[in-house]
Amino acid sequence: MHAASKISDCDAEVVFSVDINNSANEVYRYNFPNTNQQSRNIGSLTAKEINKFCPNLVMMSPPCQPFTRVGLKMDVKDPRCSSFLHFLEILPSLTSVSFILMENVMGFENSEMRKIFTDTLNQCQFHYREFILSPQCLDIPNSRNRYYLLAKKLSDFSFGSQNEILTEFPASYIPNVSVKAKSLLPYLEELTEDEVSRYLLSEKTLAKYWRVLDIRQHFDTSSNCFTKAYSHYAEGTGSIFQHCTSGKAPPLPCDLPDNEILAQLKPLKWRYFTPREVSNLMGFPTSFRFPDSISLKTQYRLLGNSLNVLVVSNLLQLLTKE
């Protein structure tokens, strides 16, 4: 969210940031050392405390686990909704807040939590619009469908209605954040052979999961969503990159011995996208870095829980300039 505000044209100053995840906070402070950042539960914040900062914009990404398709779908009964519910409880007392940008997973739009959210916005006299957008709508070669809500008090929006969920930016809006290209090539790092070896799939993973992996090459114009389990679980957590620029996996019979499978696949150098490459596809600026103390596994987890910076920066501009 902070990175999105930096590259948008809304001239935002971040006056307060809060998160409960220690690793996320460490990365945040490393990249934005001069921000008033606190590691605490949002449920502990009072309206009086927030009002001291006189914020006119709140950007938030509440916990998504209560609404994910692979979760228990406990919705408002999930304890992880408590911080969001607390925020909605104090929202009527946040006197300076005129804009809200909220992000969550697909599925939130059908939740009871969404109804409580929009009911509260109506009670507080906010106008709002809902979206389900993927970076592909900005020609970024990565799929990451997410729910977004924009809300403002000052006036109603000139597009859409509160009775629909938009799947594209309004036709009248021209995104002003350029992207690298439609193919994966400009998003990739130039790696040495030693660096490539760090990201290669293990022989065990290759032999067991080669049939279900989503393999991409530099000329491809899409890639699957990277989740927090990327590199930890093989199936359904994100695309795999073929580092060898020529050739592709031949048809292999299901009963082929592991050693023969490996003989066919290892020369192709199937590897995970690096954290930098995932960051590039998610729109983070080149200045964004992880401190050395953050493990590779944690880097992937944090990125998988993050959002596309370019999509959010354009939504932020749409919210504040429209």
Residues taking part in catalysis:
64
Residue with tokens 């921000």: 35
Which burial class, exposed, middle or buried, applies to 140 when counting CB atoms under 10 A from its CB (0-12, 13-18, 19+)? buried
Q: What is the DSSP-derived secondary structure letter of residue 33?
A: T
Token pair of 203, please?
């022989």
DSSP notation for 87-153: HHHHGGG-TT--EEEEEEETTGGGSHHHHHHHHHHHHTT-EEEEEEE-GGGGT-S----EEEEEEES
Residue 60, H or E segment = strand 57-60
Cα 116 → chain centroid: 23
Angle at the Cα of 177 from the Cα atoms of 171 and 276, rounded to 5 degrees: 130
Q: Which residues pair with 102 in a beta bridge?
A: 60, 149
Query: Is residue 44 a contact partner of residue 37, using CB atoms and an 8 Å limit?
Result: no
